[in-house]
């Protein structure tokens, strides 16, 4: 096209018109297709959720649940735990249905310390810790006693070599290994009476944080568990320095504790569906990781958040601003993982109806203060589901409208649609969408065939430590998380055929992006091949990358059937989209073949199509499947 002044003027006017159309939409219009920010819910519903969701209320829930880490009363072990009563009270007040506290027995007894003090008695007299000051400083399962003994520093203390030429029998061992490791090597194997661990996640950045940890309650024959104290890195180094100067160090440990019959106490409530389907959705968070650790962010924040999501949803349904749910929504507050398993085992009639779980674990941190992002962890490729695209769509929309974007500066240096709390930060909404990671309740649902997402804040600088307290939390972050959670919940609970088709379109489009990512990975393999021997391997892996993603995307589209009123009819409708995935994959495979030929020419070799070995043919017959009771934790940096 010939470019003239008139043409440039027309193009500039057109650009301005599109920009104005984008901002008009922020005022409520939904007609233009050029909309900059869109997601799966209508804007009027999203605005209603934003206006109702309260970060302050979620924060208030946390302050009621865990005002401070405390020593529990005997009444909590003989009746209901404080957190469960708080949740049940609020849920009843907000109008949840069928609010119930349930308890399930477990073989693991509950240990509770009533008195715990750690003193230095020589070369000076000084109290180091008291469990009424720092509840998690005394390791659960420590045995009762008043013991004074000399301290021996074993350095790290996680290898037998650390104990060479050191007599620890009848003494207290100091080390930076975990308390359980020190207990095994020092108490069980070498006769020490107790351990002091200064193990920490971030000892340099947070030297005063004490890590939540326990020791084993069952000792080998002829041994006793001893006691375990967890001290801060600052205190641990101070004790080590004293010994390093050649001074004798003696400590006194006072422990008075009791054990109670083990129980897993849960709270369950519902928002009932309209009866048109027996399907259900579950919203989950854990109230407990044992009963000694009481973390404000992990996970009183998730527990308080889903309570606020339910309150928001109930009110907007009553006001006619959100559609009534077709599917019953179950809310479950549990001891992490074990409580979810116990509740689902006791209610198989509910477990059979579940089509999705949204799990909220560590939701309320101030993002800028902790250098964090709010993260959505997708299901693994072995569990393809549309649910990933639902969560990602809403999450990315809220993030986009809560960051200053320079191309919109003519509308003011501001967020597009600010979601802020009166007592919260003005932080941008930093997010990340990442691969599967386990270690929370969502894995339990996936093990039972229910697609599940996890929303989490990471990094958490105070994770599992004495400093996981409410002052680190941000009502603004709570409010944004509540908007994402409530919007996703409403879509899943009320979806019918029209929404199912919309979700299918979302998954089809996002699947195209994921296929492109697979191609980029495959082309990277080819680009990195350095010689004639490595090129055929790279070519085969490049083709495999696209073929693998092709299979995933076909299965993602097929999974949308669960949202149709008639799943069989939905499957037939969705089948018309599957050839589109195959066609796009074929085009990408052609790209890979062409690029392979180019690389072969560059390396001076003849391009050859890969052939499978007998071992590869055999491996191709193996189908990955979920095994009941199996693990999906995704730990230690595994890519899945």
User: Per-residue pLDDT for 27 more than 60?
Assistant: no
pLDDT of 253: 98
Question: What is the pTM assigned to this prediction?
Answer: 0.91
Contact 232, 174 (CB under 8 A): no
For the segment 326-345, what is each residue's pLDDT rounded down to a tens digit? Answer: 999 999 999 999 999 999 99
Mean pLDDT value across residues 126-132: 98
pLDDT band for position 405 (cuts 50, 70, 90): confident
For the segment 187-224, what is each residue's pLDDT rounded down to a tens digit? Answer: 999 999 999 999 999 999 999 999 999 999 999 998 99
* Nearest in space to 455 (alpha carbons), one of 503, 488, 408, 411: 488
User: Per-residue pLDDT for 401 more than 80?
Assistant: yes
**Parallel, antiparallel or unpaired: strands 328-335 and 280-288:** parallel
Using CA atoms, how far apart are residues 197 and 157, in angstroms rounded to an integer? 9
Using CA atoms, how far apart are residues 409 and 581, in angstroms rounded to an integer? 39
Mean pLDDT value across residues 41-65: 97
φ and ψ of 81, to 5 deg? -75, 150
Between 36 and 118, whose confidence is greater?
118
Mean pLDDT value across residues 10-27: 38
Least confident of 37-51, 306-320, 467-481: 37-51
pLDDT band for position 406 (cuts 50, 70, 90): confident
pLDDT band for position 13 (cuts 50, 70, 90): very low
pLDDT of 410: 74
For the segment 83-109, what is each residue's pLDDT rounded down to a tens digit? Answer: 999 999 999 999 999 999 999 999 999
Residue 407 CB neighbours (<10 A): 9
For residue 542, give both structure tokens.
């490049």
Mean pLDDT value across residues 459-473: 96
pLDDT more than 70, % of the chain: 92
Contact 138, 113 (CB under 8 A): yes
- What DSSP element (H or E) covers 599? helix 578-603
pLDDT of 630: 53
Question: What residues contact 216, with CB distance under 8 A and at least 6 apart?
Answer: 141, 180, 183, 184, 225
Residue 259 CB neighbours (<10 A): 14
Using CA atoms, how far apart are residues 31 and 29, in angstroms rounded to an integer? 6
User: Per-residue pLDDT for 627 more than 90?
Assistant: no
pLDDT of 628: 56
Question: What residues contact 184, with CB distance under 8 A and at least 6 apart?
Answer: 216
Mean pLDDT of the chain: 92
Helices assigned H by DSSP within 122-279: 179-182, 233-244
Mean pLDDT value across residues 443-462: 97
- What DSSP element (H or E) covers 373? strand 373-377
* Nearest in space to 355 (alpha carbons), one of 456, 448, 455: 448
For residue 448, give both structure tokens.
């039972």
Residue 4 CB neighbours (<10 A): 9
Least confident of 54-63, 328-337, 631-640: 631-640
Mean pLDDT value across residues 141-147: 98
Q: How many helical (H) and strand (E) elements, i.e. helices and strands, does the chain have?
A: 19, 15
Helices assigned H by DSSP within 199-269: 233-244
User: Per-residue pLDDT for 21 more than 50?
Assistant: no
User: Per-residue pLDDT for 523 more than 50?
Assistant: yes
φ and ψ of 71, to 5 deg? -85, 120
Mean pLDDT value across residues 387-413: 90
Mean pLDDT value across residues 528-550: 96
User: Per-residue pLDDT for 353 more than 70?
Assistant: yes
Using CA atoms, how far apart are residues 296 and 366, in angstroms rounded to an integer? 13
User: Per-residue pLDDT for 234 more than 60?
Assistant: yes
Using CA atoms, how far apart are residues 136 and 214, in angstroms rounded to an integer? 9
- CB burial class (10 A; 0-12, 13-18, 19+) of residue 626? middle
CA 507, distance to chain mean position in Å, is 22
**Parallel, antiparallel or unpaired: strands 328-335 and 145-153:** unpaired
Using CA atoms, how far apart are residues 227 and 306, in angstroms rounded to an integer? 38
CA 455, distance to chain mean position in Å, is 5
pLDDT band for position 625 (cuts 50, 70, 90): low
φ and ψ of 529, to 5 deg? -65, 135
Residue 380 to residues 144, 217, 231, 556, 640, Cα–Cα distance (Å): 45, 36, 38, 12, 6
Residue 610 to residues 351, 540, 602, 619, Cα–Cα distance (Å): 45, 6, 19, 16
Residue 400 to residues 114, 430, 502, 503, Cα–Cα distance (Å): 49, 9, 21, 20
User: Per-residue pLDDT for 479 more than 60?
Assistant: yes
């Amino acid at each position: 096209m010939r470019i003239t002044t008139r043409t440039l003027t027309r193009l500039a006017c057109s650009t301005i018109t599109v920009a104005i159309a984008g901002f008009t939409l922020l005022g409520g219009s939904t007609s233009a297709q050029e909309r900059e920010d869109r997601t799966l819910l209508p804007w009027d519903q999203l605005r209603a959720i934003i206006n109702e969701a309260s970060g302050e209320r979620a924060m208030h829930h946390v302050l009621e649940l865990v005002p401070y880490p405390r020593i529990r009363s005997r009444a909590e072990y003989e009746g209901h735990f404080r957190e469960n009563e708080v949740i049940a009270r609020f849920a009843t007040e907000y109008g949840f249905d069928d609010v119930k506290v349930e308890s399930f027995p477990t073989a693991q007894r509950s240990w509770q310390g009533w008195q715990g003090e750690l003193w230095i008695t020589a070369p000076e007299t000084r109290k180091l810790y008291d469990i009424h000051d720092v509840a998690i400083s005394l390791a659960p399962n420590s045995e009762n006693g008043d013991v004074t003994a000399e301290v021996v520093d074993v350095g790290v203390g996680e290898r037998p070599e650390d104990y060479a030429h050191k007599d620890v029998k009848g003494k207290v061992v100091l080390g930076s290994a975990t308390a359980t490791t020190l207990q095994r090597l020092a108490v069980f194997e070498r006769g020490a009476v107790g351990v002091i661990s200064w193990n920490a996640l971030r000892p340099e950045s947070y030297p005063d944080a004490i890590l939540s940890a326990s020791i084993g309650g069952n000792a080998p024959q002829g041994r006793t568990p001893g006691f375990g104290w967890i001290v801060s890195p600052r205190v641990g180094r101070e004790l080590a320095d004293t010994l390093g100067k050649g001074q004798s160090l003696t400590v006194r440990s006072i422990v008075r504790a009791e054990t109670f019959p083990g129980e897993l106490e849960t709270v369950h409530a519902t928002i009932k569906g309209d009866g048109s389907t027996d399907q259900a959705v579950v919203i989950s968070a854990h109230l407990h990781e044992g009963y000694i650790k009481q973390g404000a962010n992990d996970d009183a924040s998730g527990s308080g958040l889903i309570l606020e999501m339910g309150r928001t949803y109930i009110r907007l349904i009553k006001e006619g601003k959100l559609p009534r749910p077709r599917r019953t929504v179950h809310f479950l507050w549990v001891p992490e993982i074990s409580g979810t398993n116990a509740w689902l085992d006791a209610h198989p009639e509910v477990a059979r109806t579940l089509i999705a779980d949204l799990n909220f674990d560590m939701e309320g941190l101030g993002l800028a203060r902790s250098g964090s992002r709010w993260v959505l962890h997708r299901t693994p490729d072995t569990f393809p589901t549309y649910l990933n695209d639902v969560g990602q769509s809403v999450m990315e929309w809220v993030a986009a409208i809560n960051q200053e974007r320079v191309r919109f500066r003519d509308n003011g240096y501001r967020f597009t649609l600010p979601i802020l709390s009166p007592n919260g930060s003005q932080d941008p909404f930093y997010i990340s969408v990442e691969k599967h990671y386990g270690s929370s309740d969502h894995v339990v649902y996936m093990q039972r065939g229910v697609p599940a997402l996890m929303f989490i804040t990471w990094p958490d600088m105070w994770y599992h430590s004495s400093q996981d307290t409410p002052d680190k939390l941000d009502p603004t972050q709570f409010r944004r998380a509540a908007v994402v959670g409530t919007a996703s919940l409403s879509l899943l609970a009320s979806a019918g055929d029209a929404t199912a088709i919309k979700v299918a379109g979302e998954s089809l489009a996002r699947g195209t992006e994921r296929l492109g990512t697979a191609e980029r990975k495959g082309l990277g393999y080819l680009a990195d091949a350095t010689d004639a021997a490595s090129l055929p391997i790279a070519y085969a892996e490049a083709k495999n990358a696209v073929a693998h993603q092709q299979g995933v995307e076909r299965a993602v589209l097929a999974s949308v059937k669960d949202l149709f009123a008639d799943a069989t009819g939905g499957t037939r409708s969705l089948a018309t989209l599957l050839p589109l995935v195959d066609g796009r994959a074929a085009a990408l495979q052609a790209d890979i073949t062409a690029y392979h030929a180019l690389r072969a020419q560059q390396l001076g070799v003849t391009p050859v199509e890969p052939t499978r070995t007998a071992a590869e043919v055999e491996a191709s017959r193996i189908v990955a499947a979920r095994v009941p009771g199996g693990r999906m934790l995704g730990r230690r940096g595994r890519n899945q």
